[in-house]
Homo-oligomer: A and B are copies of this chain.
Amino acid sequence: MTKIYGMSDSGNCYKPRLLMAKLGKPFEHVEVSSHDGSTRSPDYLAKNPNAMVPLLELDDGRRLAESNAILLYLGEGTRFVPQDAYERGLAYQWLFFEQYSHEPYIAVRRALLTFPNRKAEATADRLAATLARGNKALGVMEGHLADSPFFAGEAMSVADIALYAYTHVAGEGGFELGQYPAVQAWLQRVEADPGHVPIGWLP
Measured CB to CB, the residues of A under 8 A from B are: 49-50, 52, 58, 62, 64-70, 72-73, 76, 85-86, 88-90, 92-93, 95-97, 99-101, 103-104, 139-140, 143-144
Residue of B nearest to A60 (CB): B86
A108 to chain B, nearest CB (A): 12
Is A89 a contact of B101 with CB atoms below 8 Å? Answer: no
Q: Which residues of B contact A97 (CB under 8 A)?
A: 50, 65-66
Cβ-defined contact, A93 with B76, below 8 A: no
A-B pairs, top 5 by smallest CB distance, nearest first, are A69-B92, A73-B89, A66-B96, A69-B93, A66-B93
Are B64's CB and A89's CB within 8 A? Answer: yes
Shortest Cβ distance from residue A68 to the other chain B in the assembled complex, whole angstroms: 5
CA A96 to CA B50, docked complex, whole Å:
12
Are A73 and B50 interface neighbours, CB within 8 A?
no
Inter-chain CA distance A49–B101, complex, in Å, is 12
